[in-house]
Amino acid sequence: MKYIIILTCIFSLLSAAGKKAAGMDSGPSVVRRPALCAAVIYNGEIPDEAYHLYDWLIVEPGNPSIGVLKRKFYLKHTAKLIAYVSLGETNVSAPYYGKVEKYAIGKNAVWNSAVMNLADKNYTDFLLDSVLPKLAARGFSGFMFDTLDSYRLAAPESEWPEFRRAEVKFIEEVRKKFPGKLIIVNRGFSIMDSIHGDINGVIAESLFKGLNGSMGYADMSKTGSAWLLSKLEAVKNGYGLPVIVIDYVNPINSSEAEADARKISSYGFIPWVTDRSLSVIGASNVKFVRRRIIVICNAMRGIGKLQEFNYVKVKAEAVKKRGGGQVVGRPTPNLIRMPLEYLGFVPETFYVNGKLPGGFLADRYAGAVVYVGRIKNKERFYAWVRRAVRNGLKVFFINDFGFPETGKFLSGFGIKVFENKASVESGYKIIHAEKGAGFEIPTRLSHDYELLMPNSEKGVKRIVTVKNIHGQEYSPFSLTPWGGYAMDNSFMNGDTALWVYNPFKIFREIFKPDFPVPDATTENGRIMMFAQIDGDADFGYTDFNDKEFIADYLTKHILERYRVPVTLSVITADLMGRPYGLHVKDAAKLRNLFRRIFRYKNIEIASHTFSHPFDWPALVHGSSEPGLNLPVPHYKFSVKKEIKGSVGWINRVLAPKGKKVAVLLWSGDCLPPERALKMIYGLGIYNVNGNNTSISGRHPFLKSIAPMGRNKGRYFQINAAVTNEDIYTNLW
């Protein structure tokens, strides 16, 4: 399962090699990765891919993404995380500002920070004895010291030599105290002769592109560029140190940023061309492949709790039993995720009424698919979409925009809106349809009171064009330069969850993937076998021998006979004694049995939770209704007990020496909350189960194929690559 996650981060160097083979590139025949590549990201989300792609990742240590990255135990061969440390200034938002403000000698009004007295040993000792050790303890591989020249803003020129001596002494002390850490400085040319032996690299900003006094993007003067270029070449050639150049370009102008990165590289420097807040994935000497796609959907609220529904109709009696009204199932983001995954994309689900991804987005996402119904704040969502499109993110809408189909909202997308003069009964005539209609279901357009027609401009492709009895021509399905839309069941029938057009072809045409696609079903060209036992009936006796445990029979006739790798789990409440044990009479025998089983080399130990929750959302939201999990005596549901408790108990009581739980197999509806996934990652184990692929000759539809998993925030739940036996036996 680790391949499912890690293979989504393949470097674009493979993509470049593939293009060359296809005759798409006139560059060198061999694509080589640069000797060193670096990224500088202070603000916003730091994606997992960045941790794989760059050698050095210079970050603001307070960025929340750092904790997420470090929790993802499967991230191997990763970037060295280097902590940003402002040496000559301290921002008022710094966690230790209150302890050092007494050492301030001036202010930098542009950044709302205090200029610090580097000549005061008490200040530098505080950094050496308090700030840097804490960063080292958090696992940072080094420090990037910024604002070395800020003393010039507050101290008279006659005192500058004293500050320089203090900086040299500080760098020497850092090297002595942290001999294995990387040290990078921003500029520091005036002390380079004294510190070059103690540092590992130099950063400089604004060589060719930078910021003006009002923080706007600007070209640097030729004189300024020439001066800085001479200093950087002296560092590179005279001291043999790697030089990272940070230039600033509006991220909307990606071609300008890429051209600037190539220019910086031509001088032998490591480029990072970013935005003014250092929050985007910048142009570099390697290309960041945008594999992720935003999928925006509704979080369905039904039967008294928040839940993601599969495409099923909830039985009326089940709804009534739980005190809710009639709930009709609807397609979930799974329908969108699976075709995107097949194309090599990594879908990320967001709920339209919740927190949507912020920031620039087009630097790290290939696009967005919007599949929503009613939403709370239409104006808010419209503003999000408009900003994303203006910044270059391709957005595609299916069956609903999420905001009204009026000129006020759609004119900005180049779509004309006019009233439908025809009645529901009068029908329509399709006057144009691209080849491929009827992929899973014939075209049956629903009636719409507003008709849409995109403007005739370059890049617009009308997939379906319709005329009504009043001669009004409109297009419910069109692709556009900014993405496109498919309304009125013209692409996917929302009532049946069947595709009118092939989603693989349509999504390929919209988002244009041009990279290798990882195959989660094979390894080294051989089909992978997945074998797991959820352990629901471990405690039971066989039907043909009421004195033999099912687990014992399984062990003798399968696990011992066929030594293939199997992930085997237990429900801990089944095997415990009092007060929680469900089968106290047989618990000791069962524990001894599983101690023996878990010693087998072909058995991977797993937990199937503590009480086997059947309905995770209901339990998480505080429901105490009977039947939501196993009736464990004296037990009140706890996510921590289900995960940490079950894993810890198995490790202590059942696992042999040197072997631990490696996987948690989700139970019941397999809809754990984000905090449960976060807990799993914190334990350093994998998680599997959710959805079921049930495609068959009777139901040969894409909706019956589950995606590889689902994301909950920054964490990923892996669907089992198998089908439950009750599914393929038609509930026995």
* CA-only gyration radius of the chain, Å: 30
Q: Token pair for residue 693?
A: 């692929």
**Alpha-carbon gap, residue 63 to 108, rounded angstroms:** 23
Q: Tell me, what DSSP letter sits at residue 82?
A: E
Is it the case that residue 642 has pLDDT exceeding 90?
yes
Is it the case that residue 610 has pLDDT exceeding 50?
yes
At 109, the pLDDT band (50, 70, 90 cuts) reads confident
- Residue 468: which of 453, 481, 478 has the closest Cα? 453
The 3-state DSSP class for residue 421 equals coil
Q: What are phi and psi of 229, to 5 degrees?
A: -60, -40
The confidence score (pLDDT) of residue 31 equals 53
- Residue 713: which of 51, 6, 17, 68 has the closest Cα? 68
Cα distances from 47 to residues 135, 291, 451, in angstroms, run: 21, 11, 40
At 453, the pLDDT band (50, 70, 90 cuts) reads very high
591 near 653, Cβ under 8 Å? yes
At 635, the pLDDT band (50, 70, 90 cuts) reads very high
Is it the case that residue 4 has pLDDT exceeding 60?
no
Dihedral Cα 111, 113, 117, 121, nearest 10 deg: -120
- Residue 699: which of 529, 560, 496 has the closest Cα? 496
Q: Which residues pair with 365 in a beta bridge?
A: 292
At 28, the pLDDT band (50, 70, 90 cuts) reads very low
**Alpha-carbon gap, residue 388 to 616, rounded angstroms:** 34
**Alpha-carbon gap, residue 627 to 629, rounded angstroms:** 5
At 112, the pLDDT band (50, 70, 90 cuts) reads confident
The confidence score (pLDDT) of residue 328 equals 34
**Alpha-carbon gap, residue 555 to 602, rounded angstroms:** 12
Residue with more model confidence, 427 or 171: 171
**Alpha-carbon gap, residue 373 to 371, rounded angstroms:** 7
Is it the case that residue 14 has pLDDT exceeding 90?
no
pLDDT tens, 483-532?
999 999 999 998 899 999 999 999 999 999 999 998 888 888 899 888 99
The confidence score (pLDDT) of residue 437 equals 97
Amino acid identity at 718: I
246-284 burial code (b ≥16 CB/10 A, e <16): bbbbebeebebbbbbbebbbeeebbbbbbbeebbbbbbb
- Sign of the torsion formed by the C-alpha atoms of 190, 195, 197 and 203: negative
The confidence score (pLDDT) of residue 442 equals 97
Cα distances from 66 to residues 60, 74, 360, 601, in angstroms, run: 9, 15, 19, 36
Q: Token pair for residue 6?
A: 């890690």
Among 314-323, 366-375, 404-413, 622-631, the minimum mean pLDDT is found in: 314-323
Angle ∠(720,724,728) on CA atoms, nearest 5: 130
- Residue 520: which of 368, 338, 684, 680 has the closest Cα? 338
Average pLDDT over residues 102-119: 92
Mean pLDDT rounded to a whole number for the chain: 90
Average pLDDT over residues 296-320: 42
- Sign of the torsion formed by the C-alpha atoms of 447, 448, 454 and 459: negative
**Alpha-carbon gap, residue 270 to 274, rounded angstroms:** 13
501 near 533, Cβ under 8 Å? no
CB burial of residue 420 (10 Å; 0-12, 13-18, 19+)? middle
Dihedral Cα 546, 552, 557, 560, nearest 10 deg: -170
Q: Tell me, what DSSP letter sits at residue 651?
A: H
DSSP letter for each residue of 328-375: -----THHHHHHHHHTT-EEEEEETTSPPP-S--TTTEEEEEEE----
- The fraction of the chain above a pLDDT of 70, given in percent, is 91
- Residue 75: which of 535, 714, 730, 591 has the closest Cα? 714
The confidence score (pLDDT) of residue 22 equals 35
49 near 10, Cβ under 8 Å? no
| Total residue length of the chain | 732
Give, rounded to a whole angstrom, the gap between the first and last alpha carbons of the chain: 29
The confidence score (pLDDT) of residue 523 equals 86
At 580, the pLDDT band (50, 70, 90 cuts) reads very high
Angle ∠(282,288,294) on CA atoms, nearest 5: 95
Amino acid identity at 36: L
pLDDT tens, 529-547?
889 999 898 888 999 998 8
The confidence score (pLDDT) of residue 393 equals 98
Dihedral Cα 407, 410, 413, 418, nearest 10 deg: -60
pLDDT tens, 42-97?
998 999 999 999 999 999 999 999 999 989 988 877 899 999 999 999 998 899 99
639 near 712, Cβ under 8 Å? no
HEC states along 502-513?
Answer: CHHHHHHHHHCC
Is it the case that residue 600 has pLDDT exceeding 60?
yes
pLDDT tens, 186-217?
999 999 999 999 999 999 999 999 999 889 99
H or E segment to which residue 619 belongs: helix 616-620
The confidence score (pLDDT) of residue 309 equals 34
Cis ω before 339 (30° cut-off from 0): no
**Candidate ranges 139-143, 324-328, 697-701, 723-727; pick with highest mean pLDDT:** 139-143
At 373, the pLDDT band (50, 70, 90 cuts) reads confident
The 3-state DSSP class for residue 438 equals coil
H or E segment to which residue 306 belongs: strand 305-307
331 near 359, Cβ under 8 Å? no
398 near 492, Cβ under 8 Å? yes
Q: What are phi and psi of 550, to 5 degrees?
A: -55, -40
143 near 184, Cβ under 8 Å? yes
Cα distances from 439 to residues 345, 494, 498, in angstroms, run: 22, 15, 9
Angle ∠(682,687,690) on CA atoms, nearest 5: 140
Cα distances from 459 to residues 143, 395, 414, 474, 480, in angstroms, run: 47, 14, 12, 17, 6
| Strand 182-186 versus strand 201-205 pairing type | parallel
